[in-house]
Structure 1
Amino acid sequence: MSNILKNYFVAFIDLLGFSNMVSHDCENPVSSQKYIDKLKSVHAQTKKLQGNLENLQLIQFSDSVVLALPFNKEKFHDFLSLVADYQYELLKNSILCRGGISYGMHHFEDDFLFSSGLIHAYNLEKDISVNPRIVISKDLIDLIYPQNGNENDLILKESDGSYFINYLHTRKYDEAWKGISSIVPDNLTNKPSIRGKHIWLINYYNHCFPTQKQREVALFQ
């Protein structure tokens, strides 16, 4: 029997606030539903992206999305670009996400999924990402860029040492801010977990567009 397990890049993405979206649309009249159509639209747009990368796998269940591509160093940038586009489409639809990208042995066939790469990516999302960012395994970074470190504009290194997808790279500042301002309220919530994510998002925007800062956040009041 041939070995069906092969090495893949694997991204695990968690849609933040999904349970609230489900509750909103399930508990309100049809005329007030606003999330299911957005999620279906983003999913449809993402499926179209499959044509841009041969052998790309897309799996979505509940609040989780898995993207996988056979491991090929030359395709790493293309894979990151696709994930970045997906994250940006979510932002434009007022949806935040976080996640992890890793690599490992992987097999998906007829709705059967068996993947160490997915486990690694999931653990990155669960233990490290915290904020609305998609963290990339340092082992993967070292494998792709063994000599000179990160050489990819789609990757940023944060102060905690984590690498994450720079999905606002080359975007239009006003379009990006429109997405952010549709999510972050004028008066930040006092709930620490949500407040921290919103502050991180504003600071990330300011980092990407330093001459177009839309808002300063006072961390100490």
Structure 2
Amino acid sequence: MQDEELKDAISKEFDKKRAVVAFLDILGFKDIVRKYVNPKNHEDKKTLEDIKFALNDALKQIREGPYSKYNLVKYKIFSDSTSFSVPEGRGQPYETSMLCMLMTVVKGYNFQLMLRDKYPRGGIATGFHHEDENMIFSESLIKAYTLESEKAIYPRTVLDEELVKRLKKMWKYQKNTMKLFGTHKQIITDKKGTTFVNPFNVIYSSSRDQLASIKKSFTNEKDFVKEVRRLDNWYNFEVLKNVENKLEEYKDDEDVLPKYEWLKELLQWNIDPESSNKFEYLL
């Protein structure tokens, strides 16, 4: 399929008003804004810039290079709420690529926010979806919001069961495409069967092309793997320091404390998979 044909096909898929939608909000946003507007507070003045950076970095792959011409992902931000959407494309040759691209964007957004001490929670679902420059009217968004508010609980972005089944099916028939995006290293599930996007180990779960570019600097596989682990753990420990501060800040809050305790355990599992038996990769 030629570039213009693909661009037109993606536009028509959006016109069908079926999309996969991710909805995320930021925990404690009311307090974040309160600190930002307090004239005596200087430490949180970069909060707005942090959110903008996280968004721009997450969308970098589709704004630059070969993806920039296709308008692959639509997005909106209102207050603490962010939505990303891609055409569902069911049965189309680019269905798997669309879903994998969304997972990559959501992971990047989560990671960049957490690295900046902001903790998103969300859901991803599919269904009817109309979106233009002024409004969103969407079954998918409602389903994703319900996942965020009722099932996510912790700072994580949870996948609807229908999408989990589709991912497993794609893994059987579109494994090479999913490996190209690194999707099999981006989605994990817990002992309760809840599947969500893993925001950590961003180098390990990079696209195949990005990893190949890094690998060129190494003469053997062992050194390459060691360097990927070192880089990922540097970022993991940076987030862990922020989470430790949150644990101290909310040590007497029975509602908030468990959220950061859970996040600490997830981080430690990413640093050392032997540290917990609660998590595993879905694919």
TM range (shorter): 0.7 to 0.9
Distance 2:194 2:266 in 1: 14
**Residue in structure 1 matching 2:120, options 92, 97, 100:** 97
1:177-213 Cα deviation digits (max 9, x unpaired): 2123124326361212221011111100111111797
Query: Comparing both structures, which one devotes a greater share of its residues to strand?
Result: 1
Q: Any conservation in 1 of the 2:73–2:86 contact (CA below 8 Å)?
A: yes
Structure 1 residue ranges (4+ consecutive) displaced by more than 3 angstroms after TM superposition: 2-5, 29-32, 43-50, 146-151
CA contact (8 A) 1:173 1:212 kept: no
- Greater shift, 178-187 or 137-146, is seen at 178-187
Q: Is the 8 A contact 1:98 1:133 kept in 2?
A: yes
Q: 1:173 to 1:140 in 2, by over 3 A?
A: same
Equivalent in the alignment of 2:226? none
Residue equivalent to 1:61? 78
Matched, 1:38 2:50: yes
Q: Does structure 1 retain, via aligned residues, the 8 Å contact 2:96–2:170?
A: no
Q: Measure, in 1, the Cα distance between the counterparts of 2:59 and 2:40.
A: 29
Cα drift, residue 100 of structure 1:
0.3
Contact 1:47 1:58 in 2 (8 A): no
Q: Which residue of 2 aligns with 1:217?
A: none
Q: Which residue of 1 aligns with 2:187?
A: 155
1:74 to 97, 103, 119: 97
1:182 is matched with 242
Residue 42 of structure 1 deviates from its aligned partner by 2.4
Quote the sequence identity (%): 22
What is the Cα deviation at residue 5 of structure 1? 4.3
Unaligned runs of 5+ in 2: 1-11, 89-94, 176-182, 205-230, 276-283
Change (3 A) 1:148 1:26: closer
Give matches, 1:117-196, under 5 Å: 117-146=140-169, 152-169=184-201, 170=204, 172-185=232-245, 187=248, 189-196=251-258
TM-score between both structures, scaled by the size of structure 1? 0.85
Cα separation, 1, equivalents of 2:262 and 2:156: 9
1:109 aligns with 2:132: yes
How many aligned positions are there?
A: 212
Whole-angstrom CA distance in 2 between matches of 1:137 and 1:7: 15
- Match of residue 26 from structure 1: 37
Are residue 199 (structure 1) and residue 261 (structure 2) matched? yes
Equivalent residue, structure 1, for 2:91: none
Could you tell me whether the CA contact under 8 Å between 1:50 and 1:57 is conserved in 2? no
